[in-house]
Structure 1
């Protein structure tokens, strides 16, 4: 069967879009991060139309350009005050749907990219530094681009590059990272959020009660948590809980009328954003949840009267087997519902729970609370199956860990006290990586932007005539094979190629000789035709594997093939 295939021609090379591991040397923890750049940090894009902004990386090993997921999110500074007693203003993301403020938050007064809008992409996708603009350029784009150079201040050798091109004709082809669905009960804004790596469920506006690692992360879709919990005053049902904070919508000043409102959501190729306002007696407290490829973040803008106690903590499911706990002062603590005393008397900004069903690293930044006069901030931990805080499903305190804040002064003011919470999804039985995540979260990557102009007319997408495409699923031999994953050798990776006759879901796994999966190379939708990717002989934690025979498996819905590859030292 003969079909036409589209090629992209530049002065330097022939380009075919196919899934490929990005070429950068950032650390395991860094690669979880998004890179978020505001308009005031990238003035070269001010005034451009968001729909005409595209992200590319240059793959030096193949001398080609690859489009990557890149998202532009518009934001508006909005007065969120509730009556004159509760002044507030927040930067809200322009939403896909009407919420508390109706259509007023569904558009920006300035429809072009401006100083408070954001460009976001995943650090994991960064590539190589591109050749001179006259030597290589992405097809169907304008004659100027912006080079984003990314560096890790904790590792002087770690660098990556992303290039932003403008185009009036280009189509977005890099795929979607996150799906977001409002489900029943819709009046509570229950939501299912899903990436290739995990599934999360909110059953109410403030109630996050499912986190399920998927097979791409080595999980089997088992729910790890009973709930992610918020508490005020005390950990009893007579006081404020995430359920009470979810009550509404109401005006907050009538008896038994909760005041939480759904503000809206935005879904794009890099992240989904969920916005809620109101929590019991804090009608202008705002709750933002953002979902990325293998992590999620929560930002709570607190505005409330004085409080004696406030908690945020994880509560794990009793059905996920043995759990090991780690933090700044403790290692390999068994979470089994049996009380024990932990080491350390200073707060830990990170903690990790590892189980055979999946692992989570929790990181919190509550420096703004710590700076309040008289406010006391501590880590919180309780592992006691006899204790119940009366929310969730199992009525057990299984490995509760998070933060406890005491003696909070009145914060019911226009400027909120902001806390940041991040959850990183790791494979089952993950080794202790919490400190690594802690380090990179306290010190972000640095970025610099440079406008570049070509004097050569950019290439265009052209048909290269009738090309033969194999009308069947086919896995080609890897090369080189054997190969070495030693840093001292030239051939530090092997190339894997396979053909799919039509667009389909594809998984590419690596197994050791005992049949244990040691690496997921790809899990997602593949275009038709020849696909190419690279494996550098490392496991999910980016650690070099031992020498020996391994098996590459490429699987579609109804076909799969395997081939052996050998690592030598």
Structure 2
């Protein structure tokens, strides 16, 4: 099995095009984590001028200094929608999800999401650089900003163009066939799924890690009040795979249900060197809920946390003073590779507290009580670590959101400073600004309005590159663009609103340039 995986990773790395060599080299060590392997996420609401455009016609570029031109970079648009589950019943709830159902129309909406990697954006493009061949006359300049205090990390720029024939990057960071029982593979790590809730393998690819499996499995436990605990194997039996998405930048995997928590939804966003998992827990009252990674025995394995920065050896011998500490971050380090995790739970009246779960005990059979057929690998608990939520009040419609941000760690390179760095990145996420631009960057800013007898006359300074002008009118100057009426169009920098003088006090005007393809320019 390991030999096959090494071949698969080699093929994935070899499939990267020329120019991606820096990414292949980048897996050999784990420097202090940087923004490079984190995604930049842009909501469709930040791109209003592209609303309704075909997503297939939108392409993302960076400025390449070596060639003094624009080069395509990996990206993907993922559509979102508000999906109502159990409609018309007392268990009805609505959740905004990525469109794993394929129900959307392939056009940009306000809640859709553009994703690209911080590493792939570049320096700001000089204004004189020609736009890519086939690009339309308008674009968005996207500025990604590292918001960590005191960090000197230059802003990164990317450019979103529209055009049916635009080139796009051939690079793909993630491989998955969108089945619930298959692995998600990147050139850095692999998640092995045996089924919907059953994550039974985590491997860090050579040369960063050994390629060997690091975990017994990802485990879950729920303890109903006055009843026996149930585990992820039982959750799995009463769950449904909702679907998945695979693109150049990330894979998205959705599962609904967890035994009696039928409205619990968890999903994974898997990137090249970063993994985000969210569990939206909807369930009846529980004494406690746990989700954690049970490790396999390995060499030089040490666990660090925000509360235990000196670390404890993972050796199958219980360690007092680790379980029940504050929940912030953890780093599991071993010679074969490891994982860093940031845990985030928003305060909620639906639970009393959340804390760090830990058990390192070779003699403890980590099977759910009352389940003699539980099928883990070692019948023990080696460095089992994760999140524990206590005194769950219970709701089948309102979720307790449990977030985990996970980062692969190369062999023997996990340290407390790694954990502190990923926690700081979680608390100071990447900010992004979107600026709409036309080829000439112009908008009408010189409008003059005057009465001429019974008419109202409008004139303005003509703009270079405008094929004409469209005149809009509204009684409210603050009204959304879509609510303004259209009076007409003119090829000249002058327009007469015939007979409008009597109502001039109730009319506000806006003149918008028309681009060569007939679309409106800047307001």
CA distance in 1, matches of 2:289, 2:103: 35
SS of residue in 2 equivalent to 1:161: strand
Task: Report the CA distance between 1:82 and its aligned residue.
Answer: 7.1
User: How far did 1:360 drift?
Assistant: 0.6
Pair 1:120-2:122 in alignment = no
- Would you say the 8 A contact 1:357–1:428 is kept in 2? yes
CA root-mean-square deviation: 2.6
Distance 1:359 1:273 in 2: 22
Q: CA deviation at 1:92?
A: 2.6
Contact 1:56 1:164 in 2 (8 A): yes
Matches within 5 A, 1:388-537: 388-390=365-367, 391=374, 392-413=376-397, 415-432=398-415, 433-455=418-440
**Residue 17 to residue 223, structure 1, CA distance change in 2 (3 Å):** closer
Report what 2:521 is aligned to.
Answer: none
User: What is the CA distance between 1:315 and its match in structure 2?
Assistant: 0.7
Pairing of 1:146-295 with structure 2 (within 5 A): 146-154=140-148, 155=150, 157-158=152-153, 159-181=155-177, 189-215=180-206, 218-233=208-223, 239-247=229-237, 258=238, 260-295=239-274
- Aligned-partner Cα distance in 1 for 2:250–2:351: 37
What per-residue deviation string (whole Å, max 9, x for no partner) do you get for residues 184-205 of structure 1?
xxxxx31211111111111010
Q: SS at 1:215's partner residue?
A: coil
Query: Does the CA-based 8 Å contact 2:357-2:388 persist in structure 1?
Result: yes
After TM superposition, give the deviation of residue 221 of structure 1 in Å.
1.3
Match of 2:511 in 1: none
How far did residue 35 of structure 1 move?
1.2
Give me the whole-angstrom Cα distance separating, in 1, the residues matched to 2:350 and 2:136: 54
Residue 138 of structure 1, aligned match among 132, 149, 171: 132
**1:91 lines up with 2:90 in the alignment:** no
Structure 1: how far apart are the matches of 2:156 and 2:21?
Answer: 15
Compute the displacement of 1:418 (Å): 1.3
The structure-2 alpha-carbon separation of the partners of 1:407 and 1:48, relative to structure 1 and needing over 3 Å to count, comes to: same
The alpha-carbon deviation at position 79 of structure 1 amounts to: 0.8
**Residue equivalent to 2:446:** none
**Residue 354 in structure 1 maps to residue 333 in structure 2:** yes
- CA offsets 1:253-305 (integer angstroms, 9 cap, x no match): xxxxx3x1111111111111111111111111111111100121111111111
Return the alpha-carbon distance in structure 2 between the equivalents of residues 20 and 389 of structure 1. Answer: 43
Q: Deviations over 1:436-481 (max 9, x none)?
A: 000111121111011122249xxxxxxxxxxxxxxxxxxxxxxxxx
Q: Is the 8 A contact 2:37 2:273 kept in 1?
A: yes
The structure-2 alpha-carbon separation of the partners of 1:345 and 1:227, relative to structure 1 and needing over 3 Å to count, comes to: closer
CA–CA distance in 2 between the matches of 1:411 and 1:316? Answer: 32
User: Distance between the aligned counterparts of 1:51 and 1:276, measured in 2?
Assistant: 27
Tell me what 2:307 maps to: 329
C-alpha contact (below 8 Å) 1:81/1:284 kept by paired residues: no
Deviations 1:22-78 (A, max 9, x none): 9xxx97332221111111233233222111111111133542322111100011211
The gaps in structure 2 that reach 5 residues or longer are 1-16, 24-30, 368-373, 442-523
Partner of 2:41: 36
Instruction: Report what 2:283 is aligned to.
Output: 304
- Counterpart CA distance in 1 for 2:233 and 2:283 is 17
Question: In structure 1, what is the Cα distance between the partners aligned to 2:84 and 2:332?
Answer: 39
- Report the structure number with the largest CA radius of gyration: 2
Q: Deviations over 1:413-453 (max 9, x none)?
A: 2x322111121112111141011000111121111011122
In structure 1, how many angstroms separate the alpha carbons of the residues matched to 2:312 and 2:50? 49
Q: Distance in 2 between matches of 1:307 and 1:284?
A: 15
2:178, 2:243 within 8 Å by CA — same for their partners in 1? no
Show structure 1 runs of 5+ residues with no match.
Answer: 1-15, 96-104, 184-188, 248-257, 457-569
Kindly indicate which of the two structures has a greater share of residues assigned to strand. Answer: 1
Cα separation, 1, equivalents of 2:351 and 2:170: 50
The CA distance in 2 between the partners of 1:27 and 1:438, in whole Å, is 12
CA distance change for structure 1 residues 374 and 223 in 2, over 3 Å: closer, same or farther?
Answer: closer
Residues 50, 113 of structure 1: 8 Å contact kept: yes
Q: Classify the secondary structure of the residue corresponding to 1:417.
A: strand
| Kept in 1: contact 2:290–2:386 (CA 8 A) | yes
Post-superposition offset of 1:378: 1.2
Look up the SS of the partner of 1:180 in the other structure.
coil
Richer in helix (by share): 2
Q: Secondary structure at the match of 2:183?
A: strand
Distance 1:178-1:128 versus aligned 2 partners, 3 A rule: same
CA contact (8 A) 1:210 1:224 kept: yes
